Amino acid sequence: MAERSVTRAARRLGLSQPAVSNALARLRLGVGDPLFARTRRGIEPTARAVAMAGPVRSAITTLRQALLDPSSAGSNLRLVTVAANEYARRILLSDLAADARSMPEEVVFDIRDPGVHQGEAPLLTIDWASSARAAILLRDSVAYVYREISVPAGTTRTLEWFLACRHVAVDGGEADRLLDAALAATNRTRRLTFRAPGMADAAAMVAGGDLIAVLPRRFAERLAPGLGLSVSELPLDVATLILMLDWTPNGVADPVYRWLNARLIATGRALSNRAASETHRRT
């Protein structure tokens, strides 16, 4: 239902495509309905699948609660879903974990990718693109990571050098999208060699070979030291990355929403102030 694709669903579940196809075939047989039909846009749910989706989500939420803490079934323990992209999980939520002592004790936060729609709707969503009501949480620039030892001594890292290097792109990566849009505006292209499923995967591939990956600067600077990578400015102007904070309209009065919202905004502001201070110091 979420992916509209057996292949993408298999990737997200960590299973093979045939395994998911076989499971879907058994489900169709058990339910007595095709459930999904192939179209040009992918697979679309039947009326029966749409009717099943809500109750199945509720059942998954109840089951997940019991698995997280079997003694909590029927108790007041609440599972709160927060959708956050890879950047937000690494940059914002990792800092938020330091404030764990002040978290509401009766709440378990279920952190997931915005593309996963199992269970209840997320109380908050942190992503590059969001709805019209979303607020700007954080801005970042695009940089690139590379192995210093892979660049011959005396090399001038010009735009031509950058484009001639072998690149690993991130599947659906916002930094890659902004870079490619800037290059297209000047009728240029880069040398794409690999596509990785996530930003951390792309950085790991760069660490293992003579490659380049474009990433949000804060993300790159957090990963680079542990991988032995260097971080550098792009040799061309690229639009700014904007991280957005979205919320469930009926959740605004929720005390858990207020707690989480306040801390995310404070963390984003602290990171922005730190970046501004570092920029001022460099200039």
Q: What is the pTM of this model?
A: 0.69
Residues 224 and 155 in one domain: yes
Closest CA to 49 of 63, 33, 26: 33
Q: What is the CATH number of the domain that holds 199?
A: 3.40.190.10
User: Residue with structure tokens 């474009």?
Assistant: 214
Q: Residue 257 pLDDT more than 80?
A: yes
Which regions of 128-280 does DSSP assign to beta strands (E)? Answer: 135-140, 142-146, 166-170, 191-196, 213-216, 230-233, 241-247
38 DSSP β-pair partners? 43
Residues 27 and 65 in one domain: yes
- Scored b (16 or more CB within 10 A) or e, 39-74 reads eeeebebeeebeebeeeebeeebeeebeeeeeebee
Residues 189 and 205 in one domain: yes
- Cβ neighbors of 58 (< 8 A, separation 6 or more) are 120
- Number of separate domains in the chain: 3
Domain termination site, one of 25, 44, 69: 69
Residues 182 and 230 in one domain: yes
Closest CA to 256 of 57, 120, 74: 120
Q: What is the CATH number of the domain that holds 255?
A: 3.40.190
* Average pLDDT for 219-241: 94
Structural domain of residue 211, as residue ranges? 142-239
Domain termination site, one of 28, 45, 69: 69
Residues 118 and 162 in one domain: no
Domain termination site, one of 18, 45, 69: 69
Residues 264 and 213 in one domain: no
- Report how far residue 92's alpha carbon sits from residue 97's, in angstroms, rounded to the nearest whole number: 9
Alpha carbon separation from 194 to 61, 191, 214, 270 (Å, rounded): 37, 10, 12, 35
Token couple for 231: 């971080």
Q: Which residue has the higher pLDDT, 132 or 196?
A: 196
Residues 56 and 23 in one domain: yes
What pLDDT digit, counting tens, does each position of 48-106 carry? 888 887 778 777 766 766 666 555 555 567 788 889 999 999 998 887 777 666 776 67
The 3-state secondary structure of 7-60 reads HHHHHHHCCCHHHHHHHHHHHHHHHCCCCEEEECCEEEECHHHHHHHHHHHHHH
Q: Which residue has the higher pLDDT, 164 or 9?
A: 164
Q: Which residue has the higher pLDDT, 205 or 69?
A: 205
Closest CA to 65 of 118, 27, 2, 117: 118
- DSSP characters for 57-85? HHHHHHHHHHHH-GGGTTSS-EEEEEEE-
What pLDDT digit, counting tens, does each position of 8-34 carry? 888 777 778 888 888 998 999 888 889
* Average pLDDT for 234-251: 89
- Scored b (16 or more CB within 10 A) or e, 80-92 reads bbbbbbbbbbbbb
Local confidence band at 132 (pLDDT 50, 70, 90 cut-offs): low
* Average pLDDT for 157-180: 94
**Dihedral sign from CA coordinates of 117, 121, 122, 125:** positive
Residues 89 and 213 in one domain: no
Q: What is the CATH number of the domain that holds 5?
A: 1.10.10.10
Residues 155 and 204 in one domain: yes
Q: What confidence score (pLDDT) does residue 240 get?
A: 95
Q: What confidence score (pLDDT) does residue 131 get?
A: 67
